[in-house]
Amino acid sequence: MKEENIEAFLSNRKKHIETYMKTLFVDDIYIFAPQLLAVYEDMIHIDLFTLSPSEISDKDAHQL
């Protein structure tokens, strides 16, 4: 995600998450990046990490 879009995206993450289905549990945490943890009514869960290219290290397996 481009640096200039991060703040706008962070403020809308829950809305994006709930587009799929109503959530039972949502937690906004920070481990190594902003993360939204959501559990849906069907017990599927998602961990939504938000990173910019500058926050991804050379040790990461995938190239952007």
The model's pLDDT over 8-59, given as tens digits with 9 standing for 90+, comes to 888 899 998 999 999 999 999 998 889 999 999 999 999 998 887 777 776 5
Say if residues 64 and 56 touch (Cβ distance below 8 Å).
yes
C-alpha distances (whole Å) from 51 to each of 1, 25, 35 are 6, 22, 9
Which band of pLDDT confidence, cut at 50, 70 and 90, is reported for residue 61? Answer: low
